[in-house]
Amino acid sequence: MLNQFFNRLSKESILYCHWKSIDKMDRVYEGSTDIDLLIDVNSISKFNQILSEFNIINIKPRLWMTYPSMNDYLLIDDKNGRYYHLHLHYKLIMGKKNAKEIILPLENFYLQNSVKHDRYDTFIIDPNIDIITLLLRISIKYNLIKLFYSKILKSKLSELDEYKYLLSKCNDGQVKINAEKIDIKLNGNGRIKNYFANDFYKEPLSNIYQLRRLRHVLYPYRRIKSYGLYLIPFIRKYLNLYAILGRNNSKHPIQGGLSIAVVGCDGSGKTTVVNKIIKELRSKLSARKYYLGFNKRSYSFIARIIIFISYFPRAIKFIFKNNLGKKINIFGQILSEYAGYLDRKNKYLKSIYDKNNGMIAFYERYPLKNTIDYPQCFYHSSYIDIIKGSKTLSYFKNKLERKYNLFAPADINIFIDTDPNIIRQRRSMDDLTFNKIKDKYKRVKIYVDSKQYFIHIDGNDSLEKVTRNIKTEILNRLC
């Protein structure tokens, strides 16, 4: 898919090149690292037309992490299910982490001197130019202490592997010619030219003082004033930490968040599939699972108190064996189910808040009326007549039912339709458990078939195929 994309750019005569991390092109094609693509600003309209031919998601970073002259996209490869994170650059922007304070006027020089990669059908920056830019980036990104620390303790800077790769691909004479050209374009007064003419670039950490002098050439191209260079990275660092603690740790689709309810019978593979999809999505986008089930592992503190109180009326059935005892027992169950509603409500409202901030929210065990994860005493045959015969119980039942109307259908509602016999093959169970599974399956199936908004996924297929099919439905909505 990437080859098709880059071939389309070449066919439309769009000037472009990979201008960073060209030593990691293998990882670029695997989708495990970002694509930093510099394009001609005059070709933006053509480029956008080509993007529309592919499955793309226009994404945006956190509000405080935006940079000028940059756009972000996710390219989706349907065949292998890979996500390619495309950083689209219109200018050469670099600098300290969380600041990116330098914009160099060299984009035309880069694009006019791009070369074809020796193994992949795409254009990259000429290594004889890239090594110059890399050392300029190092000179402005790291302070003197960091550079000496790296030299003395032999700790690696992240750019050193790229530097060694570029050095092996460079021609000494061509590097010095390009250094002179860049020195002239940046008004370097000979600093860049002399640094490379004296071969300091061959061992940069052995000539730290000379390397640090290169940063003076870049100062006229700063977009942030001196005090901002300390304040902005500091603020962004702790805002990022706050976002990570909230699991809002990636970029968001530009069209906003999305809610996805994945439902099915017990054992249909909901948890496995959802966890796998979230793991893949969270490397590129903000995604989170909200468990709306109600069991001992998920009880909140308030729910535990209410459930403890509910034990007293529920125990009455052992004292009063008549109809009164049954009514008091059902009241205790309604009280317990109210605790479940409070827990579900808090998680659901949290998901709405996160969705409004760009999160992709997955619901596990979404409440389906009179089926699963819904108050059982409202639809259990042995309780229905007793509730109907009591005004008090009917009042509490109707009130709690109205509260459950809060859980409106999600943006995408997916039903994993797995035959109970297949479920039994996947996990061992006795006949009693199997009969319960069959009963749940019938109730869920009847409910889902009565709603037109559910997307049916064949759960009898392998989990890998089920995962791929669900991902396709999600990506079709996002693209």
pLDDT tens digits for 100-122? 889 999 999 999 999 999 889 89
Q: In angstroms, rounded to a whole number, what is the distance separating the alpha carbons of residues 109 and 181?
A: 9
Strand-pair category, 70-77 with 56-60 = antiparallel
Given this model, what pLDDT does residue 362 score? 94
> Which residues of the chain carry a pLDDT beneath 70?
153-155, 244-250, 317-318, 321
Domains of the chain (ranges plus CATH)? 2-221 (3.30.460), 246-478 (3.40.50.300)
pLDDT at 149: 78
Check residue 240 and give its pLDDT: 75
pLDDT at residue 463 in the model: 86
